[in-house]
Amino acid sequence: METALPAAGFLYWVGASTVAYLALRISCWFFTALRVWGLGHEAGVGPWLGEWAVVTGGTDGIGKSYAEELAKRGMKIVLISRSQDKLDQVSSEISEKFKVETKTIAVDFTSEDIYDKIKASLAGLNIGVLVNNVGMSYEYPEYFLDIPDLDNTIKKLITVNALSVCKMTRLVLPGMVERSKGAILNISSASGMYPVPLLTIYSATKAFVDFFSQCLHEEYKSKGIIVQSVLPYYVATKLAKIKRPTWDKPSPETFVKSAMKTIGVQSRTNGYPIHSLMASVSASLPSWLYFKITMYSGNSIRVRYLKKMKKN
């Protein structure tokens, strides 16, 4: 009986400490959510940073929504993407709707020899905002060695997801530093916050974007430059193969309107309140449980996709 009393006391304090820790985490999350999304502050970007905003992958999804939100704030827009037809269509829509000047640059980001063309096209522009949004993922979750056309997939994902961020930043950052103002918004992914098996290359390249952004922000914040890493969970886009938005999978328009509020407030953001909560939950899981859930989810999607392909 005497030995049971100290053990009970120990368990009591373990339980109390756990509850206090969880309460503190929940309180911190609610405080952050209120500060970022609930106070109605203005987005930290606009023409005062520079006349032009450059958006890669700007004809669909998140990129197009960023272009529209920046145009709404009076910024002139440079859209960079692969299809000239899509570029012309989106450019026309933005210029007519928001009464701003637009430019287009048609390049394929899977190629490495495009940056001289981009540099020439951007020459002389007062660029205040760069949105590094272009990206690509797997067709479906798959084990590394079983990825179709593996060697080509490795090259494409690294070139599009990682190299483009470095190269575009290299082109635009010097002008921002010279003027001591500017914002670079790098669209990473929640897959870059924690390793995601069965999306191994995608997850790793997005982790690169996140680390690159954090380092760059620390290097240049004293020079008046904002560098933000944006880490969304699923958004209803073509890339995610989600057609209808839901409460946890918002439309690109809804996501970007929310994410814009975090610029100048958070240098690393999930961009959307529900996604922020999901990230907090993931962070609280022990690694073995996180990987078990992630593998189960990825394998479920993989099996469904392969069954569908066999039927077709």
Secondary structure, 3-state, 204-234 = HHHHHHHHHHHHHHHHHHHHCEEEEEECCCC
Give, for 131, the enclosing helix (H) or strand (E): strand 127-132
Lowest mean pLDDT among 29-38, 48-57, 214-223: 29-38
Report angle CA 160, 164, 168 to the nearest 5 degrees. Answer: 160
Q: Which residues contact 275 (CB under 8 A, 6 or more apart)?
A: 190, 231, 232, 233, 248
- Residues 1-20: pLDDT tens digits? 455 556 556 566 666 665 66
Q: Given this model, what pLDDT does residue 311 score? A: 76
**pLDDT mean over 82-104:** 97
Query: 15 in helix, strand or coil?
Result: helix
pLDDT at 34 > cutoff 80: no
**pLDDT mean over 25-40:** 58
Q: Given this model, what pLDDT does residue 279 score? A: 93
Q: Given this model, what pLDDT does residue 38 score? A: 60
CB neighbourhood size of 151 (10 A): 8
Q: Given this model, what pLDDT does residue 44 score? A: 76
Name the one residue in this structure whose structure tokens are 């450059």. Answer: 54
**pLDDT mean over 91-109:** 97
- Residues 167-204: pLDDT tens digits? 999 999 999 999 999 999 999 999 999 999 999 999 99
- Residues 122-160: pLDDT tens digits? 999 999 999 999 999 999 999 999 999 999 999 999 999
Report angle CA 158, 164, 269 to the nearest 5 degrees. Answer: 90
What share of residues in the chain are helix, strand, coil (percent, to 5)? Answer: 55, 10, 30
Angstrom distance (rounded) from CA 65 to CA 54: 13
**Pick the residue with more confidence: 55 or 241?**
55
Name the one residue in this structure whose structure tokens are 């405080």. Answer: 31
Confidence (pTM): 0.87
- Residues 104-121: pLDDT tens digits? 999 999 999 999 999 999
pLDDT at 31 > cutoff 80: no
CATH superfamily of 44-311: NAD(P)-binding Rossmann-like Domain (3.40.50.720)
Are the C-beta atoms of residues 53 and 129 closer than 8 Å to each other? yes
| The one catalytic residue among 202, 220, 233, 272 | 202
Six-digit token string for 43: 């987005």
Calculate the average pLDDT of the chain.
90
pLDDT at 230 > cutoff 90: yes
CB neighbourhood size of 97 (10 A): 11
Q: Which residues contact 84 (CB under 8 A, 6 or more apart)?
A: 104, 106
Residue 272 bears catalytic tag = no
Are the C-beta atoms of residues 160 and 114 closer than 8 Å to each other? no
The pLDDT confidence band at residue 258, using thresholds 50, 70 and 90, is very high
pLDDT at 215 > cutoff 60: yes
Q: Given this model, what pLDDT does residue 238 score? A: 78
Read off the amino acid at residue 102.
T
CA 305 vs. chain centroid, Å, equals 25
Q: Given this model, what pLDDT does residue 161 score? A: 98
